[in-house]
Amino acid sequence: MKCRHCAHDLTHEFLDLGAAPPSNAYLTTETLHGAEMYLPLRLLVCDQCFLVQTEDYASADTYFNEEYAYFSSTSQSWIAHAAKFCNDMQSRFDLNEGSLVIEVASNDGYLLKNFVGAGIPCLGIEPTDSTAEVAERIGVPTLRKFFGDALGQELASSESRADLICGNNVYAHVPDINDFTRGLAAVLKPEGVVSLEFPHLMRLVDNGQFDTVYHEHFSYLSLLTVSRIFATAGLRIFDVQQLSTHGGSLRVLGCLAGAAHEAQAQVDVVLSEERARSMDTLPYYMGFQQRADAIKNAVLHFLLEARAEGKTVAGYGAAAKGNTLLNYAGVKPDLLPFVCDAAEAKIGKFLPGSRIPIRAPSILRNERPDYLLILPWNIAAEVRAQCADLAEQGTRFVTVVPELNIS
């Protein structure tokens, strides 16, 4: 396989999680008795540009189709994050009724609805029908296509150039990252801004976040590598923010190479930190497999010990990261009888691979488990607040990344 950015041969393994089904391929009662598609889940690192990337076995439309079940609006903390982003961008870049905001991977309209409410013209680009339909129902204009250079050129030729084009947690999801980035450059106005948020590879390594690895995440990104990808497409990064979302993310603000946006000091701060940790050398990426195995072993030990003691365990959050963890650890319903999730689209279905049933959170008040295993650890505080009554009745909360924690 060649590096999807610089086309060098890929010979160095970063992580091997065996084989698993796509993390959002939830099963129904009808499909439960059929076969599942299992694909190798292996990451490689390029020794030239240091892009960490999946070994490819399927195209994007295998993962992002009409059955796609991730809805951004399920998390209240994420909705609040999006609202703050819209307010910040509106004031910083003087967005108004004469501007155009485009969001790539606009999902269910969780973000653009804020611009709609402010009277700022916007357009969502979202290939999955299930989420696009929800966005359109709340008044978010949505184009049901995959984004890339061709669509960027098409929009530009129709005078649909953006003052702001944003993508939250989409950059890692695109198989052809060069084509996608060229599309961003094509659709920008001369002084337009591109804003991308993505999990920071440095935090993934620091905190052993191997469960954020799944087939839908084609790339795992540092600022060093993203700066290089941007430059190849005629873009430059003029600002960056370090965020707490998804266990530690970056928000990069970019523009066309010749635009007037002044470079901010924070860009050099983050680049210097990455270089200080040797993220531009191969040894940094070696040894991560052992950390993933230690976390996997810890969750298995906890579940086996709880069963031996006669304790009950329920899961919370039918999230992709939970599916990665459970499938790599080989957890089945005998150790984790059910997982709760607030997303209506997931309730009544079954997790891919493990086939653990997904129930509504209200069942917890009847079951009152001894332990609640929070699989999306990035929203653990939100879940604890929602389930405070369970804690008062003796339920203890469990997270396993970056290490096993019982509270």
Per-residue pLDDT tens digits for 360-404: 999 999 999 999 999 999 999 999 999 999 999 999 999 999 999
Q: Are residues 339 and 244 in the same domain?
A: no
In-domain check, residue 134 = no
Q: What is the pLDDT of residue 37?
A: 93
Q: What is the pLDDT of residue 365?
A: 94
Q: How far is CA 102 from CA 160, 173, 407, in A?
A: 9, 18, 42
pLDDT tier for residue 61 given thresholds of 50, 70 and 90: low
Give the Cα separation of 93 and 164 in Å (integer): 9
Q: What percent of the chain has pLDDT over 70?
A: 96
Are the CB atoms for 266 and 274 separated by under 8 Å? no
Q: Are residues 202 and 304 in the same domain?
A: no
Q: Are residues 270 and 316 in the same domain?
A: no
**Final residue of a domain: which of 285, 315, 345?**
285
Q: Are residues 257 and 360 in the same domain?
A: no
Q: Are residues 196 and 298 in the same domain?
A: no
H and E: helices and strands count for the chain: 14, 17
Q: Are residues 280 and 150 in the same domain?
A: yes
In-domain check, residue 71 = no
Are the CB atoms for 128 and 110 separated by under 8 Å? no
Q: Cα-Cα-Cα-Cα dihedral of 307, 313, 314, 318, to 10°?
A: -70
In-domain check, residue 209 = yes
**Final residue of a domain: which of 285, 300, 320?**
285
Res 95 pLDDT > 90: yes
- Domain membership of residue 162 as a residue range: 146-285
Give the Cα separation of 258 and 117 in Å (integer): 33
Q: What is the pLDDT of residue 246?
A: 83
In-domain check, residue 59 = no
Are the CB atoms for 126 and 70 separated by under 8 Å? no
In-domain check, residue 43 = no
Among 314, 181, 312, 163, CA closest to 236: 181
Give the Cα separation of 322 and 182 in Å (integer): 33
Report phi then psi at 154, rounded to 5.
-65, -45
pLDDT tier for residue 24 given thresholds of 50, 70 and 90: confident
Q: What is the pLDDT of residue 72?
A: 65
- Mean pLDDT on 51-64: 73
Beta-strand ranges (E) seen in 207-264 are: 219-220, 235-243, 249-256
Are the CB atoms for 48 and 77 separated by under 8 Å? no
Q: How far is CA 345 from CA 26, 138, 150, 246, in A?
A: 10, 17, 32, 22
In-domain check, residue 184 = yes
Q: Are residues 169 and 258 in the same domain?
A: yes
Q: Are residues 311 and 266 in the same domain?
A: no
Q: What is the pLDDT of residue 58?
A: 61
Q: Are residues 154 and 233 in the same domain?
A: yes
Res 63 pLDDT > 60: no
Res 18 pLDDT > 90: yes
Q: How many domains does the chain have?
A: 2
Q: Are residues 363 and 337 in the same domain?
A: yes
CATH number at residue 234: 3.40.50.150
Q: What is the pLDDT of residue 50?
A: 98
In-domain check, residue 72 = no
Res 298 pLDDT > 70: yes
- Mean pLDDT on 164-193: 97
- Mean pLDDT on 324-353: 96
Q: What is the pLDDT of residue 362?
A: 95
Q: What percent of the chain has pLDDT over 90?
A: 90
Q: Are residues 184 and 268 in the same domain?
A: yes
Q: What is the pLDDT of residue 59?
A: 58
Give the Cα separation of 355 and 332 in Å (integer): 7
**Final residue of a domain: which of 267, 285, 303?**
285
Q: What is the pLDDT of residue 78?
A: 84
Q: Are residues 260 and 156 in the same domain?
A: yes
CATH number at residue 396: 3.40.50.720
DSSP letter, residue 5: T
In-domain check, residue 231 = yes
